[in-house]
Structure 1
Amino acid sequence: MNWKEQYTRWCKEVHLDVELKEQIMLMENDLTHVEDCFYQYLQFGTGGMRGEIGPGPNRMNIYTVRRACQGLAEYIVETGEKEIDQGVVIAYDNRHKSKEFALEAAKTLGANGIKTYVFSDIRPTPELSFAVRHLHAFAGIVITASHNPPEYNGFKLYGYDGGQVTSEVAENITSKITKLQDELKLQVIEIKQLSEKGLLQFVDEEIDRVYLEQMEHIRVNKQLSQSSKDDLKIVYTPLHGTGAYLVQRGLKKHGFNNVTIVKEQENPDPSFSTVVSPNPEEKASFQLAIEYGHRLDGDILLATDPDGDRLGVAVKNLDGDYVVLTGNQLGALILDYILSQKESLPKDGVLLKTIVTSEMGRAIARKYGLETIDTLTGFKYIAEKIKEFESNKDHTFIFGYEESFGFLIGDFVRDKDAIQACLVAAEMAAYHKSKGKSLFEALIDLYCQVGYYQEDLASLTLKGKHGTEKIQHIMNEFRSKKLDSIANGSIEVIEDYQNGVRYFSVSQKEEKINLPASNVLKFHLEVGSWFCLRPSGTEPKLKIYFGVRGEDLKSSDIMLTRLKEAVMDNIEGFTKDE
């Protein structure tokens, strides 16, 4: 159907949800808005789907959730009776409609005879990953849009290992979803009936308890004195999200008592009323935490995103001003701390990072004699590698991270885990303070040891059908024109992850890239710099990543600025050509 036919179909549905019907009536004179809501189905990618809340197949609503869950249900039923019995764990964050969507998921799965374990209140995403493993469930769902603006929500799907489903499984489920003819007619069973049939069980405190018990295994320096912990002044904000309870419990359990929470942001708020964006990658989200920090002379400011899987950290620089560490900087610090504190390291130990994560991690791992393995962007690929290591027993996982503030220390969770990262970041800060150093000074020391790596990220937000087409046009231009130089530097290697080819400019030879196909391009310059273009799989954005390595901070800053300006000029030129 075209968008007009889809729109008409929804308008004529007698039993359409009352709130959605009212929203459709309000938009009837805004045809551009109507087209965007109805011109396609919300894309179900490798990790699930994410979009603005509203009516229509291209929005998050009870019907698009039911459609996704029906596809999952058919996949589970097809897999076997054992998998049906194992059931599905469902968690949700504090966003608008999250609990409603979580219950719709349970009602749809229940209508297919599949049991669900539903958290009775909001929980962070990493706890869902843990719960799937702990309950031996076959799959997991978390309703969240992570750090996106308030108008968004999403649906993330997990496999039996606690990691986001593999591409193969996602494709299988997607094919089933695509065949569903009418999402408005899908059958559900009401919550009371599900409970009576034994197809729904609410879970909460017991999972919290065992999850926090596992945190004992991520202590890095068990000899760190209590006085060192008491001396550390921590300010923490959950940014109105799900992290407050578990982070505070975890810090206390690990002996950190000098913790002040940002009261204005402690309670869940689906509108995230005190921040423009609940994203700990952005300094603006730290505004209140920084005010607390100055007032209390805080040593470390911690901020978790709404679904508790990303951690941002702010520390004082040499001038006494708070700066937000990048995900690359924080990951490098945690990696070096973990490796430096171990008495011995396994010979087969491995650092896992993504292709857009800083090369600084590789340099640190090399310093300690460890291998680094790159994965595609997305923590699901790191989880897949951990699972592969368990099967082959050829590597030992040490640490995994990505530049977008995702970190994993203990593999009892198979997704990025800000709860774990908070505890280790606090321990790391206490350790360095006991040695007379701030975390910022520890970072400078690390630069001196392995090189001055600097990274940056630019995002082009291009919404709607035209925006999607423009992003693809830019990718096509970079893919077809094969640049030979940029920012006064020769391009030595071009990696095309969609076609699975690594091209060497000088020799004009090609080699295969042994990673799944993905619409990503990465360009390596002769001076060790690089940039990468990747359309987001969950947002209407083109993400452009930049990385350089200089002899000092000043030279690396200059290199980074020049590279970024040159690449963005090229993108602007390609856009004008359209």
Structure 2
Amino acid sequence: MDTQLALRVKHWMASDPDPLMRQQLQTLLNSGDSAELEGRFAGRLAFGTAGLRGVVGAGPTRMNRLVVQQTSAGLGAYLKAQISDVATRGVVIGYDGRHDSKQFAHDAASVLTAMGIKVYLTANVAATPLVAFGVLHLGTAAGIVVTASHNPPQYNGYKVYWGNGAQIIPPHDSGIAACIDKAATQVIPLLEMPQAKASGQLVMLEEDFYDAYRQGVKLAPVLQNHTQPEAVSLAYTAMHGVGNQMALDVLKDAGFTKVYSVAEQAQPDGDFPTVNFPNPEEKGAMDMVMAEAKKHGAMLACANDPDADRFAVAVRTDSGDYQMLTGDQVGVLFGHYLLTHASENQRLTCTTIVSSSLLSKVAQSLNATCRTTLTGFKWLTNVGMSEETDSNRFLFAYEEALGYTVGSMVWDKDGLSALVAFAQLTAELASQGQTIWDRLEAIYREHGFHINAQVSIALKPTTPNIGAYLRANPPTEIAGHKVLSTDDISLGKRFFFEGSADGTQEDIALPASDVLIYRLKNGARVIVRPSGTEPKIKCYYEVVESMSKDDSLASAQQRAEVEMARFIEAHQAALPK
């Protein structure tokens, strides 16, 4: 084994506070497993705009107590440099139900309090939206939530909020990362929790904090539609996460009495024993909640992911079975519902470039604004804040990956308030003798049936740089349909083609990103995101089919799915091999 590598491993072990992690590394040293050790010591687990996310294990490229302590020391140093009153404003910390999350949260608190920064630490597990809420509720300078959201059991993560209650965006991510690199070379002082409590540096957030969030949902202006909630029945699962009690409480507060929780998935369990992958989007993940819904003949089968920031729903069909709605369908339903109830000065909605274009059409028809951002909730909420004015207040944002924020109590995705809002929409429709399917059909009849698909395409290592190729050879048609415009987000430009012999263009107000967006004459859209690190691209497709008076929802969907399959095949066939 390389001597330098062995020395680095032993140096790390000398600082690692976790005996299990030290033993893990010692075993690898004893067995001479150079390849595994090189992987664990090849740099650091990258700190980006979502913070940290990785497999739990020993070494700097894994999630462990020492990485969390170094990250917290770097974050603390950055906060002290940026925010003059960080010591008194403090940082709020919460954690999910994964096996290591509580220990990691306590480590973060020990580091920050030792730096003289006040910490508000949740006394128990907390849904991610509660931490985002806590930043504004407590007026802290930042927030940390230890969670891996809906990743597999072996993962954990460390997510950071800025003082505005939203996830960090550049340049804070790179600034914090630089401070973490420096902190990793230094001895990190720790303040034991009893001492931190005694000195007033550490404040435990007990039941009154959780109640503050619950009351916030109960009093939220966008959640005051109490049309016959007793008429709605729904099954719910927390998917072995932390959402169950709060979900049941906020539904009860809103008057929903027919709520059936999946008992086997109600309590936090870091092993996620009844699901292969604790993500509501994954095949089979919703099976138990749909079975519970069927048992009670419920209208809805609802789920939060394990940290309760995402919301998923399956809706009963005429046959008595349950069909999942896509994230785009839920997003458009929310947008239409909220805009038809909001005041004239609350008309600002946001969605991402890869989500359906339907929300922007619905917003336009309802005299509202829809801003489109880069992918990620950090962009949705930061843009929502920056675009908000007294005469056009923020109302709603969503991304297709089941993330929704309703109102502005929480400036991040919130699966709990979304659950209440969707139940209220369902109740209002039921009072009119209608279903969610009826509302969806009405929206599609007005604006066209929109269907979206995402495909990752593996390329040969010898394939030319796909982004460079497409920029050098811009397509004039895709799948037989003329290209009307191309957005090149790396340049911040939109180029028009149809009827524009002079090649007119306009600026796009988005941060630079390696993304190309093609809009076609038939209303379809293709988004290409080349990978900068491996030979593959991600493509996002949208097809729009108009609905005739003879069309049913099913017939329009079938036609759109056939066109989507043709569209994807034709586009992929035209890409360089």
- TM-score normalised to structure 1 length: 0.89
Equivalences for 1:12-23 in 2 at 5 Å?
A: 12=11, 13-16=13-16, 17-23=18-24
Amino acid at match of 1:424: A
Amino acid at match of 1:169: H
Amino acid at match of 1:165: I
Decide which of 198, 220, 243 is 1:196's aligned counterpart.
198
**Whole-Å Cα distance in 1 between the matches of residues 404 and 141 of structure 2?**
24
| 2:537 is the counterpart of 1:558 | no
Structure 2's unaligned 5+ residue stretches are: 547-555
After the TM superposition, which of the residue ranges 539-548 and 526-535 deviates more from structure 2? 539-548
**Whole-Å Cα distance in 1 between the matches of residues 10 and 453 of structure 2?**
46
- Whether contact under 8 Å (2:214, 2:250) holds in the other structure is yes
Amino acid at match of 1:95: R
Which position in structure 1 is the counterpart of 2:60? Answer: 57
Which position in structure 2 is the counterpart of 1:345? Answer: 344
Amino acid at match of 1:22: Q
Which position in structure 1 is the counterpart of 2:508? Answer: 513
**Whole-Å Cα distance in 2 between the matches of residues 6 and 232 of structure 1?**
61
SS at match of 1:255: coil
**Whole-Å Cα distance in 2 between the matches of residues 161 and 319 of structure 1?**
47
After the TM superposition, which of the residue ranges 23-32 and 91-100 deviates more from structure 2? 23-32
- TM-aligned CA deviation for residue 459 of structure 1: 4.7
Amino acid at match of 1:264: E
Alignment CA distance shift 1:470-1:163 (3 Å): farther
| 2:141 is the counterpart of 1:144 | no
- TM-aligned CA deviation for residue 80 of structure 1: 4.5
List per-residue Cα deviations over 1:15-40 (Å, max 9, x = no partner).
Answer: 43321122224445554443332222
**Whole-Å Cα distance in 2 between the matches of residues 456 and 317 of structure 1?**
23
**Whole-Å Cα distance in 1 between the matches of residues 360 and 7 of structure 2?**
55
- TM-aligned CA deviation for residue 288 of structure 1: 0.5
- TM-aligned CA deviation for residue 82 of structure 1: 1.3
Which position in structure 1 is the counterpart of 2:327? Answer: 327
**Whole-Å Cα distance in 2 between the matches of residues 546 and 135 of structure 1?**
42
- TM-aligned CA deviation for residue 428 of structure 1: 0.9
Equivalences for 1:97-116 in 2 at 5 Å?
A: 97-116=100-119
Which position in structure 2 is the counterpart of 1:10? Answer: 9
Equivalences for 1:96-135 in 2 at 5 Å?
A: 96-135=99-138
After the TM superposition, which of the residue ranges 539-548 and 236-245 deviates more from structure 2? 539-548
- Whether contact under 8 Å (2:5, 2:38) holds in the other structure is no
Alignment CA distance shift 1:181-1:423 (3 Å): closer
- TM-aligned CA deviation for residue 224 of structure 1: 4.0
Which position in structure 2 is the counterpart of 1:87? Answer: 90
Which position in structure 1 is the counterpart of 2:551? Answer: none
- TM-aligned CA deviation for residue 487 of structure 1: 2.3
Which position in structure 2 is the counterpart of 1:545? Answer: 540
- TM-aligned CA deviation for residue 427 of structure 1: 0.9
- TM-aligned CA deviation for residue 235 of structure 1: 0.1
- Whether contact under 8 Å (1:316, 1:440) holds in the other structure is no
SS at match of 2:143: strand
Decide which of 388, 401, 406 is 1:404's aligned counterpart.
401
- Whether contact under 8 Å (2:222, 2:407) holds in the other structure is no
**Whole-Å Cα distance in 2 between the matches of residues 38 and 496 of structure 1?**
37
- Whether contact under 8 Å (1:4, 1:35) holds in the other structure is no
Amino acid at match of 1:11: K
| 2:500 is the counterpart of 1:498 | no
Decide which of 30, 48, 73 is 2:76's aligned counterpart.
73
Amino acid at match of 2:104: F
SS at match of 1:274: coil
- TM-aligned CA deviation for residue 132 of structure 1: 0.7
Alignment CA distance shift 1:520-1:234 (3 Å): same
Amino acid at match of 2:191: I
**Whole-Å Cα distance in 1 between the matches of residues 361 and 545 of structure 2?**
14
List per-residue Cα deviations over 1:478-500 (Å, max 9, x = no partner).
Answer: 55554443322333333232332
After the TM superposition, which of the residue ranges 110-119 and 14-23 deviates more from structure 2? 14-23
Alignment CA distance shift 1:322-1:394 (3 Å): same
**Whole-Å Cα distance in 1 between the matches of residues 50 and 15 of structure 2?**
31
- Whether contact under 8 Å (1:4, 1:38) holds in the other structure is no
- Whether contact under 8 Å (2:51, 2:159) holds in the other structure is yes
List per-residue Cα deviations over 1:65-88 (Å, max 9, x = no partner).
Answer: 222212211112213441221110
Alignment CA distance shift 1:49-1:440 (3 Å): same
SS at match of 2:171: helix
- Whether contact under 8 Å (2:70, 2:184) holds in the other structure is no
- Whether contact under 8 Å (1:90, 1:128) holds in the other structure is yes
After the TM superposition, which of the residue ranges 494-503 and 231-240 deviates more from structure 2? 494-503
After the TM superposition, which of the residue ranges 289-298 and 453-462 deviates more from structure 2? 453-462
| 2:25 is the counterpart of 1:24 | yes
- TM-aligned CA deviation for residue 544 of structure 1: 3.3
Which position in structure 2 is the counterpart of 1:526? Answer: 521
Amino acid at match of 1:355: I
Alignment CA distance shift 1:80-1:439 (3 Å): closer
Alignment CA distance shift 1:88-1:221 (3 Å): closer
- TM-aligned CA deviation for residue 370 of structure 1: 1.0
- TM-aligned CA deviation for residue 242 of structure 1: 1.2
Alignment CA distance shift 1:505-1:221 (3 Å): same
- Whether contact under 8 Å (1:132, 1:140) holds in the other structure is yes
Equivalences for 1:460-475 in 2 at 5 Å?
A: 475=467
Amino acid at match of 1:546: Y
- Whether contact under 8 Å (2:348, 2:392) holds in the other structure is yes
Alignment CA distance shift 1:421-1:459 (3 Å): farther
Amino acid at match of 1:270: G
**Whole-Å Cα distance in 2 between the matches of residues 286 and 50 of structure 1?**
24
- Whether contact under 8 Å (2:217, 2:223) holds in the other structure is no
- TM-aligned CA deviation for residue 126 of structure 1: 0.8
Structure 1's unaligned 5+ residue stretches are: none
Which position in structure 2 is the counterpart of 1:298? Answer: 298
- Whether contact under 8 Å (1:118, 1:203) holds in the other structure is yes
Alignment CA distance shift 1:496-1:150 (3 Å): farther
SS at match of 2:144: strand
Alignment CA distance shift 1:546-1:317 (3 Å): farther
Decide which of 356, 359, 374 is 2:357's aligned counterpart.
359
Amino acid at match of 2:525: W
Alignment CA distance shift 1:504-1:26 (3 Å): farther
Which position in structure 1 is the counterpart of 2:553? Answer: none
After the TM superposition, which of the residue ranges 250-259 and 350-359 deviates more from structure 2? 350-359
SS at match of 1:65: helix
**Whole-Å Cα distance in 2 between the matches of residues 197 and 206 of structure 1?**
22
List per-residue Cα deviations over 1:102-150 (Å, max 9, x = no partner).
Answer: 1111111122111111101111111101111011100000111111111
Alignment CA distance shift 1:40-1:269 (3 Å): same
List per-residue Cα deviations over 1:152-184 (Å, max 9, x = no partner).
Answer: 11111101111112312223222222344527x
List per-residue Cα deviations over 1:445-480 (Å, max 9, x = no partner).
Answer: 221122101112235799xxxx9x999955555555
- TM-aligned CA deviation for residue 7 of structure 1: 5.9
SS at match of 2:381: helix
